[in-house]
Amino acid sequence: MQTALLLVAFQDSFFKKKGSHYTKDVKMSAKAAAKLLEHFREHHLPVIHVMHMGKLEDLSVDNLQTYELLEPKKDEPTLVTAEVNAFADQKLAETLKSLEATHLLVAGLAAEKYLIATVHAAKSLNYACTVVQDACAVSKLRVEGEKIKPSLAHKVVMAILDSNDVEITTAKAFIKSEEKKRKKLIKEAAKQEAAFESAKAALEAAEANMRNVEPGMATSTRQAQKPTKKKQGRKSGGVVTGENAAAKPKKSKASVKASASDDAAVQPNTTVTGA
């Protein structure tokens, strides 16, 4: 989730004591917003400045000057609008889309008007919103001629936002939470890197072991494939002896008798007489 810091109406004219938006809280709000701005710049997170033109008769270059603590850098978009709701002219929505931001961290002045209208519009466009209460301030307000204490009006505005599912925090709490998340991510990344290095070392050890085993396996294979020499029999008196010598077949008794009968049959009949 990409978070963008939205600084609303931190204009130099709002810090003039004679102005209708000035209260003793505006400078404290600007200091808290400056801490947020420093955090976002340090971690290269997107920042958007929104300036409100106000009434045409009051429009001047001086009125659109950003307060000195929060002056935008060249790479930080600054949007000027004549509408109370900063989303009314589509420029803000287009800028957020280009930044791929889905979560808005909002701080600003004239919170009862500019900030509350902008946050409600952001919610309707499905942006997640967090308002930094100590980086916001309300204007001088009256009801039927009676002054309303800025501290009371501020609480009412925060209560309205909270009732509309807007997260309310402080600059210190937000920065602390983000640093905690960052440390956790760094720790998890370190664990993953350690696991990777361990796996890499194990793989290298296995490869080295295989290189040591392969020569022995090759030698064993060659020995297994080498033909064995058969022992040759020795000739002795025309008779082959040894393993390859043909064994002389033995005659059975029946064969011997048959042979003797055959020999007798071929002898001539002779009679021996005495002299």
Cα separation, 7 vs 117, whole angstroms: 14
Task: Return the CATH number at 65.
Answer: 3.40.50.850
Q: What is the pLDDT of residue 270?
A: 44
Mean pLDDT, rounded, for 46-70 = 78
Same domain? For 162 and 180 the reply is no
The answer to whether residues 64 and 156 belong to one domain is yes
Q: Which of 141, 169, 197 is the last residue of a domain?
A: 169
Segment 104-108 shows an average pLDDT of 98
pLDDT top residue among 92 and 210: 92
**Residue 254 pLDDT > 60:** no
Instruction: Choose the weakest-confidence range: 12-16, 64-68, 232-236.
Output: 232-236
Check whether residue 10 and residue 89 sit in a common domain.
yes
User: Looking at 17-21, 104-108, 250-254, which range is the least confident one?
Assistant: 250-254
Domain membership flag for residue 136: yes
Residues 150 and 185 in one domain: no
The verdict on 62 and 127 lying in the same domain is: yes
* Residue 187 included in any domain: yes
Is residue 220 a part of any domain in this protein?
Answer: no
- Which amino acid type is present at position 187? K
What are the Cα distances from residue 230, in Å, to 149, 210, 233, 242, 244?
116, 36, 9, 11, 9
Task: Please indicate, yes or no, if residue 275 is contained in any of the structural domains.
Answer: no
Q: Are 47 and 82 in contact (CB under 8 A)?
A: no
Q: Give a yes or no: residue 201 inside a domain.
A: yes
The encoded tokens of residue 127 equal: 């942006």
Q: Is residue 57 part of a domain?
A: yes
86 and 124 belong to one structural domain: yes
Window from 20-24, 93-97, 226-230 with minimum mean pLDDT: 226-230
pTM value is 0.69
Residue 264 has pLDDT above 50, yes or no: no
Of 158 and 269, the one with more pLDDT? 158
Q: Does position 259 have pLDDT exceeding 70, yes or no?
A: no
State which residues form the domain around 53: 3-169
Question: What residues have CB less than 8 Å from 121, skipping those under 6 apart?
Answer: 85, 86, 87, 88
Tell me: do 165 and 176 sit in the same domain.
Answer: no
Look at 81-90, 180-189, 225-234 and tell me which has the smallest mean pLDDT: 225-234
If one counts the domains in the chain, the total is: 2
Residues 9 and 105 reside in one and the same domain: yes
The rounded mean pLDDT for the chain is: 82
